[in-house]
Every structure is written in structure tokens, then in C-alpha cells.
């Protein structure tokens, strides 16, 4: 196993605390924190329901900017609460600062910007692969929710929505779970359990398939390698945020089985077989993303380690 996996700055940061949570405690607590944090978004959900008259069709009649704002707030409150809860545990039980979750200041801006670029290129590569085989096509949707008309909502859902949502899932799995288990037991166990947990935490998403579950675990493996290779969480947080944004609001495809309903800059639809395009689950349920993530994992193994 490469030395950057077995001996890593992220493990050293986790060991700065007075105690490390046992593996069974990590898995149990992570499940509880996910459940508890979801309740923090209830006020925004209630506002959405009031504005739409408690009808599903009302969601599509909202202006794009308002839909983007509400979705961004929903993501920010629920997943922002998840970050807060993880930090409270780390601060008061493990007795270490927030920065030890992989948020040291050195190189933060560069790593985040690079993560945005890598995320766009990786997901764009998957869409490009589908296009190469003729498996995507423009969709004739609502013109008020596509292109420049949707720009306000598209930006509002990224900041603060996907920005915080992507970071929260990385904080939980790659910032806390992976280093704690890897430092207390074995690095490979931290990678395995964090990747498995990441897949399982999406297990209730609609339209889930076996290949989608495999891809979610593969994404977990890729993200683990990314975080360890960079010895930081900045880059993988950016990657995760822009990956989700590109799916739902750049290309207009489903995000892990869910439609954003906000708007999209390029309104595309899958036209090929579900096993390749992901079908109703979105590209994460298809072979195109499998190939993109497998290539990403291979590149991480040969990427020079940050100095």
C-alpha cells in the first residue's frame, strides 16, 4: 500500500485529540447525526409548502430565483447543521479543533479552486462520453428555467446550497470517519468503511439501482483517495459541490435520483440505455460515471503528492 495512504497528515490531525471514537461509535453516531441534522431544514420546507399551496405543481410555478433560493436555504440549513454537529463532537468529545478535520489554511484557496476544476472536468467527461455515443440530447423544457433565464436560481442554489451540502458530506465521511478509523485501526479500514457508509447513506434515494449503489461506493473510494492524496479536505469539498451542481444545474440531469426543480443552464436529457446513462437516477447510476470515477481513482494513484 502506498506510503501516502498508510502515513498521512489527516491521521496525524485526528490524533491531535485526546481520544479517537471507536469504529462502531463512528458508524452509529454518523447515522444519528444525519437523522438529527435533517430536522433543521423543516422550517424551510414549511415555507416552501406554504408558498406552493401544498401542491406539487406549485413548485414548478415559482420563479427560478425563488426556487433556487429556497433549495439553497434547505441544503444550507440541514447540511450546515450536520457540519455543526460533527464539529461539536470533535470539539467536546475528541478534544480537537475544527481545522483537524482537514481544513488547515495552507494552500486552501488553490486546493479549492483546483477541486472545482477537477470536478467539472470529471463530470463533464462522463456527460461527454454519453454524448459520444449519442445518449444525451437537448430537452424542450420550461424556457423560464433554462439558460440565462435560470441563471439567478442556478447561482443561488450553488451558494450556499451545494457549497455547504458537498462540504457536509465530506466532513462526515472523509474529514471525520476516514481519518479517525484509519488512525485508530488500519488505513484501509477507514477507506472501506467511509466509502461503504457514503453509499448506504444514499440508499433511500429514489430510483436507486445496483449500479448506482456501486457508483456511490466508487465515488467514496475516489473521494478518499483525493483527500488522502492532498492531505486536506478543501479540494474534495469543492469537487463534491461542483459535481452535484453540474449534474442538476449545469446539465439539467437528476442528482442521485432527485430532480432539483430549480433550473439549468444546459437542459439535457438521457436518451440511451439506463445501464449506461443512469436513467431516472441520473448519470451516477450509469456506466459512464463508473468509467469516469475509475479513471479518477487511477489518476489519484499517480498524482504527485502535495508538498
pLDDT tens by residue, 213-270? 999 999 999 999 999 999 999 999 999 999 999 999 999 999 998 888 788 999 999 9
Higher pLDDT, 3 or 58: 3
**pLDDT band per the 50, 70, 90 thresholds, residue 125:** very high
pLDDT tens by residue, 285-306? 999 999 999 999 999 999 876 5
The total number of structural domains in the chain stands at: 1
The answer to whether 244 and 252 are in contact (CB under 8 A) is no
Residues 6+ apart with CB under 8 A from 100: 13, 14, 16, 17, 90
pLDDT the model gives residue 143: 87
The answer to whether 11 and 183 are in contact (CB under 8 A) is yes
pLDDT the model gives residue 58: 54
Higher pLDDT, 155 or 104: 104
pLDDT tens by residue, 87-101? 999 999 999 999 999
The answer to whether 100 and 171 are in contact (CB under 8 A) is no
14 closest CA partner among 96, 84, 89: 96
C-alpha atoms less than 13 angstroms from C-alpha of 247 in its C-beta half-sphere: 26
The C-alpha torsion from 102 through 105 and 106 to 111, rounded to 10°, is 70
238 closest CA partner among 122, 123, 114, 100: 114
In a domain, 307, yes or no: no
Helix (H) or strand (E) holding 136: strand 136-138
pLDDT tens by residue, 19-72? 999 999 999 999 999 999 999 999 999 998 888 766 655 556 788 888 899 999
Q: How many residues does the chain have?
A: 307
The answer to whether 226 and 235 are in contact (CB under 8 A) is yes
Radius of gyration in angstroms for the set of CA atoms belonging to the chain, rounded to a whole number: 19
Name the residue range of residue 39's domain. 3-302
In a domain, 184, yes or no: yes
In a domain, 25, yes or no: yes
Q: What is the DSSP letter of 96?
A: -
Neighbours of 144 (CB within 10 A): 14
**pLDDT band per the 50, 70, 90 thresholds, residue 141:** confident
In a domain, 292, yes or no: yes
pLDDT tens by residue, 168-219? 999 999 999 999 999 999 999 999 999 999 999 998 899 999 999 999 999 9
Mean pLDDT (the chain, rounded): 93
pLDDT the model gives residue 307: 47
Amino acid at each position: 500500500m502506498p506510503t501516502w495512504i498508510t502515513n498521512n497528515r489527516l491521521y496525524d490531525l485526528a490524533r491531535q485529540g485526546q481520544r479517537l471514537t471507536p469504529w462502531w461509535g463512528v458508524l452509529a453516531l454518523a447515522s444519528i447525526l444525519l437523522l438529527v441534522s435533517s430536522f433543521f431544514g423543516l422550517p424551510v420546507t414549511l415555507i416552501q409548502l406554504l408558498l406552493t399551496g401544498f401542491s406539487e405543481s406549485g413548485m414548478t410555478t415559482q420563479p427560478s430565483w425563488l426556487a433556487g433560493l429556497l433549495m439553497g436555504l434547505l441544503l444550507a440549513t440541514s447540511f450546515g447543521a450536520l457540519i455543526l454537529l460533527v464539529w461539536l463532537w470533535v470539539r467536546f468529545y475528541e478534544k480537537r479543533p475544527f481545522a483537524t478535520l482537514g481544513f488547515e489554511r495552507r494552500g486552501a484557496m488553490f486546493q479549492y479552486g483546483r477541486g472545482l476544476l477537477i470536478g467539472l472536468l470529471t463530470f463533464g467527461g462522463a456527460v461527454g462520453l454519453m454524448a459520444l455515443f449519442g445518449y444525451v440530447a437537448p430537452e424542450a423544457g420550461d424556457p423560464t428555467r433554462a439558460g440565462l433565464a435560470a441563471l439567478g436560481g442556478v447561482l443561488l442554489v450553488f451558494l450556499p446550497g451545494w457549497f455547504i451540502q458537498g462540504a457536509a458530506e465530506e466532513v462526515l465521511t472523509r474529514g471525520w470517519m476516514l481519518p479517525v478509523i484509519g488512525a485508530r485501526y488500519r488505513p484501509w479500514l477507514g477507506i472501506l468503511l467511509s466509502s461503504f457508509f457514503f453509499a448506504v447513506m444514499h440508499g433511500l434515494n429514489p430510483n436507486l439501482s445496483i449500479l448506482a449503489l456501486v457508483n456511490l461506493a466508487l465515488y467514496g473510494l475516489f473521494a478518499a483517495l483525493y483527500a488522502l492524496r492532498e492531505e486536506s479536505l478543501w479540494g474534495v469539498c469543492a469537487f463534491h459541490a461542483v459535481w452535484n451542481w453540474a449534474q442538476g444545474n449545469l446539465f439539467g440531469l437528476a442528482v442521485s435520483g432527485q430532480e432539483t426543480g430549480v433550473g439549468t443552464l444546459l437542459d439535457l436529457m438521457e436518451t440511451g440505455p439506463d445501464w449506461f446513462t443512469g436513467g431516472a437516477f441520473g448519470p451516477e447510476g450509469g456506466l459512464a460515471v463508473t468509467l469516469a470515477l475509475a479513471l479518477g481513482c487511477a489518476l489519484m494513484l499517480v498524482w504527485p503528492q502535495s508538498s
